[in-house]
Amino acid sequence: MTRRSAVRSESGKLRRVAIVGGGVAGLSATLRLAELGVPVDLFSLVPVRRSHSVVAQGGIAGGDGSGTEADARAFFEETVEAGGFLAHQPPVLGMALAAPEIVDLFDRMGVPFHRTTEGRVDRRRLSGASVARAAFAGATTGQQILYALDEQVRRLEAEPVLDERGLRVPGESLVRKLERWDFLEIVRDDAGTCVGLVAQELVSMDIKAFAYDAVLLATGGPGSIFGKSAYGATSTSAAVAAVVRQGAVYANGEFIQMHPTAVRGANKLHVVSDALRAEGARLWVPAGKTDRRAPREIPEKERDYFLERASPSHGNLASADVATRAILAICLKEERGVFDPDTETNQQAVYLDATHVGQRTLRARLGGAIDTWEKLTGVNVCTTPLQVFPAVSYSMGGLWVDYEAGSGGTIVPLSPRNQATSIPGLYAAGEVEYQYHGANRLGGGSLLSCTYGGLLAAGAIAAYRAAMERSALDLPKSIFEKSQKASEKAYGDLLGRGQEDDAAENPYALSDELGEKMLRDCTAERSDEALDALSAKLEELGERAQKTKALDTSTRANAAVPAMRRLEGAVLLSRVIVASARHRGESRGAHFKPSKPSRDDAAWLKTTLARWQDDAPKVVDAFDASCAGKTISHSSAIDTSLVSVRPSTTEGKA
Amino acid sequence: MAKPEKGPKKIRLKILRQEAPEKKESRRWDTFEVDCTANMTVHEALEKIRRSPVTTEGKTVSPPAWEAACLEDVCGACAMLVNGKVAQACSLRVEEASPKGKPIVLEPLKKFTLERDLVVDRTRVFDGLKRVKAWIALEGTAPRGPGPVVGPDDQAERYALSRCTACGLCLEACPEVRESGRFVGAAAIGQARLFEIHPTGALHSRERTESLMEDGGVADCGKAQNCVEVCPAKVPLIDAIGEMSRATTKRLLFGWLLK
């Protein structure tokens, strides 16, 4: 048997793979794939340096610095437990074991982590953690990590592709960036395998189908569906909605994290990192319900440090779900939020107070975040307590992905199953997938899981590509032409839509309506009645979303028409999330039903698996997925082989 | 005389529109009026406009195009000219931009190629980072232990430099930067300095400093100091330019010895 070329297909074409999304997960995968000699096309809505990872603040969980396995095991158990035992345990263990190496890697890339007096990487304790495990750069750690990866990928853009004899392939660079491109959908062959993608360049508006041996989605969280949240403008949920529509299984969609301490800003809600609490900030409300005094005039004994009461073990660093519910209970149930003398009402706000910590310490350890918070909120955290309230900030749920574990639960690093979605040839890493955080994510966990998932996906894709019978680049052109034509037609239809129709709606206004409804009925508390009503409402919004008006008919740099299709995607994904929330008849982690307020392991220690069927979301108990020629049955059962399920010590007390 | 109607305060935004760089005939000013809410930013005003893109003359137009990503002042996407001054739309409050309620004038950055309305092509900023090789020459992602020891003072300087978002405002404000000129600009020089003071980065100091000795390098800085004034992330750009200037001079004088 002749050995197939790793670089060229039978017909002599360069065998590239695609990565969609240039945040921490996508860039980590790019870096490792390039290192493995696999040429990459990197698609991004924005120049990758502007990706949403830039807003991660507190740090990256990376071990306590001892590098011991005991520490990694403790971290693993803490992550699994905080996640309500809903995550499969082997991948979480893999991540915990790799965490110190990942921090070392970023340290070698020159990430300016805060240092100890000896000049080594310093750590801080973030929410839900029992010890200090998060390496940090001020309180803007995501920015520094994203930039280090951006720099590495920029370096690789100048690197040539080498063939198996080590010779340069003329005119080809190892990494090509396609920035300001919008992913539309994957291309599938007759067997249903992902063999490429269709995307649109957002200046020329050209639509093009590309052949790739594999596609990795690293497109982040479902931002646009929760209205005012902590997400930015690029977390559109469009890419994930597109592949769910094409058949990908979505898992644990009901687990949406609210960051407990956010400040209302004009554009959105601004997360104030747990880093501030790690440096000593405390949450409190006045003990007197109608205390009219300014916060600093209220003496110590007339303050209620409610989270320290609710969570004696973790205090102000209780995990996000516990802290969020404590704040909601104070503000909504007990109506004891900060009193506003002007309106004579209790606000939906509690104090986050770091004024006792000292300006110098806060400056040294939080860096640029203090200025950013001041610019956005008008308040200097060093001198004035902030008024905060929870905001949607992260989705634990996401695309279902696989993993392969060997004996003792060790992840097989080069298995093509790792990070593979239910569609063969389509991979996912980062917040877009569901694998690492179960029902609730710990502080410092997102940067870690994005990096680990991205690196793991790269190895899996390289293995998948090496084992391919036939490269996607050798498939008949007609497959791609067909996809391209269909997408072009869909775009053309949108461009002409609603021009003669006075009742055609504004897609941006409709998107606001969606956000308000989802935020009200499908975040911190879910009742089955409200979810049923919401579900009906979403069907209506879905119909209206198909009748929006093209606000712009020009053929260049048209932002309004992509907004129409993104809205349709956002409604679709909202329906999947609502169906998942309706399905789960218990409370666990970030999912809370007042009618079923406790965790029910006997009935619900299982993954929620949802897929799109006959134009509606459907929760399923099992499905088959094939990868690299093998078909495997997957069910909602969870691998809890490494640490036994026990009632959580922090959960449900608040 | 009828009393003025009570209602939310209104603010006008006058926006320079153009469909494409070559379509000069499409250049025009559109004025919109939106309700002013507490702490409203320029970004939010633009969002309001796109929900109902009708000018003050009652004409329905396409929503203005502008860039946005993080919406919290850390990504650099929404840079533009507000009342002739460089700003980031997501963090500039309307009342700051127009304390007396005068119309707010929005224009695209002028030192970059226009794409549409308020969107420009800032590839040039990223090309600058490539030119100065602003990176660590990483051997690979396999475990190699931690990075080198870095003292807290160097870390503090590096952290300040690492806050650069590549928004391009320093290039826009610099009198030495022209659309067709070669000057690499303050952002890239700052990022060169970021790696000069890292022990691994310093191993490749020669090529980095040499890239700044070429045409359009650090010597083109006219010391107007506008860069440091406009930098939204307070990156110590003047210090970085001074340090890199010294490094290039040293190499120019003694480079033959250092090689």
CA distance, residue A51 to nearest chain B CA (Å): 7
Instruction: Report the distance separating Cα A266 and Cα A458, nearest Å.
Output: 39
B8 pLDDT band (50/70/90 cuts)?
confident
> What is the reported pLDDT for A151?
98
With CA atoms as reference, the chain B residue closest to A552 would be B62
Of B50, B74, B136, the CB nearest to A110: B136
Asked if A101's CB is within 8 angstroms of B74's CB, the reply is no
What predicted TM-score, i.e. pTM, was given to this entire model?
Answer: 0.96
- For chain A, the residue count is 654
Yes or no, beta carbons of B72 and A376 under 8 Å apart: yes
H/E run at residue A307:
helix A306-310
Mapped onto helix, strand or coil, the DSSP state of residue A132 is coil
**Which residues 6+ apart lie within 8 Å of A454 measured at CB?**
A24, A25, A26, A27, A28, A29, A32, A218, A429, A430
User: Measured between beta carbons, which residues in chain B are less than 8 angstroms from residue A367?
Assistant: 159, 163
Question: A residues 349-368 near B, CB within 8 Å?
Answer: 364, 367-368
Q: Which residue of B has its CA nearest to A120?
A: B149
- Chain B residues closer than 8 Å to A52 by CB: 69-70
B-chain residue closest to A451, CA distance: B141
Could you tell me if B182 lies within 8 Å of chain A, comparing CB atoms? no
A562 contacts in chain B (CB < 8 Å): none
- In the stretch 33-72 of chain B, residues with CB closer than 8 A to chain A read 37-41, 43-44, 47, 50-53, 62-63, 65, 67-72
Per the CB < 8 Å rule, is B141 touching A376? no
What ipTM was estimated for this complex?
Answer: 0.96
> Which pLDDT value is given to residue A361?
92
Consecutive H or E run containing A98: helix A89-108
B219 touches chain A (CB under 8 A): no
pLDDT of residue A651: 43
Query: What is the interface size between A and B, counted as CB pairs within 8 Å?
Result: 205
* Per-residue confidence (pLDDT) for residue B180, from 0 to 100: 83
**B42-51 and A507-521 helices, crossing angle to 10°:** 110
pLDDT score of A2:
42
Residues of A in contact with B126 (CB under 8 A): 47, 49, 154
Say if the Cβ atoms of B77 and A368 lie within 8 Å: no
d(CA A316, CA A647): 21
What confidence tens digit (pLDDT) does each residue in B49-86 have?
A: 999 999 999 999 999 999 999 999 999 999 999 999 99
Question: Which of A 484-523 lie inside 8 A of B, CB atoms?
Answer: 506, 508-509, 512
Interchain proximity A110–B195, CB inside 8 Å: yes
Interface of A with B in 81-140 (CB under 8 A): 101, 103-105, 107-115, 117-121, 137-138, 140
Give me the residues of chain A with pLDDT under 70, please.
1-5, 648-654
Bridge partners, residue A61, by sequence: A134
Partner-chain contact A115 B151, CB within 8 Å: yes
Q: Give the pLDDT confidence score for residue A277 in this predicted structure.
A: 95
B chain contacts of residue A117, beta-carbon cutoff 8 Å: 152
Instruction: Enumerate the residues of chain B whose CB falls inside 8 A of the CB of residue A51.
Output: 69, 75
A196, two tokens: 């490429």
In angstroms, the Cα distances linking A120 to A491, A618, B144, B195 are: 53, 50, 15, 18
CA distance A447 to A454: 11
Predicted local confidence at residue B1, as pLDDT = 45
Give A633-653 pLDDT, tens digit per residue: 999 999 999 999 998 654 443
Residues B197-226 have a mean pLDDT of 96
Partners of B149 on chain A (C-beta within 8 Å) are 118-120
| Cβ neighbours of B137 in A, within 8 Å | 155
Nearest CB to A559 within list B51, B65, B75? B65
User: Looking at chain B, which residue has its C-alpha nearest residue A204?
Assistant: B115
Do A267 and B43 make contact, defined as CB atoms within 8 angstroms?
yes
Tell me if A641 sits within 8 A of A89, measured CB to CB: yes
CB neighbours of residue A4 within 10 Å = 17
- The whole-number pLDDT of residue A265 equals 82
Taking an 8 Å cut-off on Cβ atoms, the answer to whether A455 and B141 are in contact is: yes
Question: Is residue B74 classed exposed, middle or buried when 0-12, 13-18 and 19+ CB atoms within 10 A define those classes?
Answer: buried
pLDDT at A501: 86
Residue of A nearest to B38 (CA): A266
For A557, name the nearest residue in chain B, comparing CA atoms only. Answer: B116
Q: What's the gap in Å between the CA of B201 and the closest CA on chain A?
A: 8
Tell me the C-alpha distance between A5 and A23, whole Å. Answer: 30
Query: For residue A479, which of A210, A244, A262 has the smallest C-alpha distance?
Result: A210
The verdict on B93 touching A (C-beta cutoff 8 Å) is yes
- A6 in B contact zone (CB under 8 Å): no
DSSP class of A103: H
In A, minimum Cα distance to B157 occurs at A112
Q: Say how far apart CA A574 and CA A224 lie, in whole Å.
A: 10
Interchain CB distance below 8 Å, B91 and A376: yes
Name the A residues in 24-53 with CB < 8 Å from any B CB.
Answer: 31-32, 35, 46-47, 49-52
Which of A33, A38, A42, A50 should be substituted to probe chain B, the one whose Cβ sees the most B Cβ atoms within 10 Å?
A50
Interface check for A67 against chain B (CB to CB < 8 A): the answer is: no
For residues A242 and A185, the answer to whether their CB atoms sit within 8 Å is: yes
Interchain proximity A47–B122, CB inside 8 Å: yes
Using CB atoms, pick whichever of B200, B233, B234 lies closest to residue A108: B200
Both tokens assigned to B224: 């107007």
Please tell me the distance from the alpha carbon of residue A198 to that of residue A483, in angstroms, as a whole number: 7
Residue B56 · residue B31 · CB < 8 Å: yes
B195 chain-A contacts, CB cut-off 8 A: 110
Q: How confident is the model at residue B259 (pLDDT cuts 50, 70, 90)?
A: low
